[in-house]
Amino acid sequence: MRKFVVLLVVMGLALALASCGGSTTTTTAPPAAVTTSTPAGAPTAEAVWTETLSSEAYKSWQTAPGMETPQPAKGPHGKQVQVFVDPSVSATLAGPAASAWPVGSMIVKDALDDSGALVSVEYMQKTDQGWYFASFDPTGKVAAEGVMVEPCQSCHAKGSDGVFSAKLPS
């Protein structure tokens, strides 16, 4: 079983690395299912879905700059994306220069197909151990979750403190 999990992680990492790095190739499915142990104090996928995503309350948050409407995807998350940032990210964007997003910051990405139908919901939350990532299908089924989980972490390491949709103010 352990070899199978390692094989899944390696395959997912290879796919993610192939889709990152500026490629405009996109897919319509979330990353291959990956599960990891989540450190104490980090969110859990079940809590994230129940408390933040299922009600779609995040859609009342500010959108990431330039994401007021769905935009063409540049990574593995659907054909189009729309990104929402919580108030702590909004405050950081409006504030003075910063070198990192505050612990507790949350970002949600709706991944859409060509017709605008929801393909997956991607969630990030900054923890004191790094970014917690979770990927869900439209019904809330978990495709991937964990702190610093691969393939999410390797790709997002290229962003502004792990974030592609917004740059830290300088």
- For 37-60, write each residue's pLDDT tens digit: 556 668 899 999 999 999 999 999
- E-strand spans in the chain? 34-35, 62-63, 71-72, 80-85, 106-112, 118-127, 130-136, 142-147
**Domain with residues 2-156, CATH architecture:** 3-Layer(bba) Sandwich (3.50)
Question: What average pLDDT does this structure show over 83-90?
Answer: 96
Q: Which of 29, 32, 11, 38 is nearest to 137 (CA)?
A: 29
pLDDT of residue 68: 94
pLDDT of residue 37: 52
- For 2-22, write each residue's pLDDT tens digit: 333 333 333 343 333 333 433
Residue ranges of the domains in the chain? Answer: 2-156
Q: Is the CB of residue 38 less than 8 Å from the CB of residue 147? A: yes
pLDDT of residue 47: 93
Q: Which of 68-82, 85-99, 111-125 bottoms out in mean pLDDT, i.e. has the lowest? A: 68-82
- For 97-150, write each residue's pLDDT tens digit: 999 999 999 999 999 999 999 999 999 999 988 899 999 999 999 998 988 777
Question: What average pLDDT does this structure show over 78-87?
Answer: 95
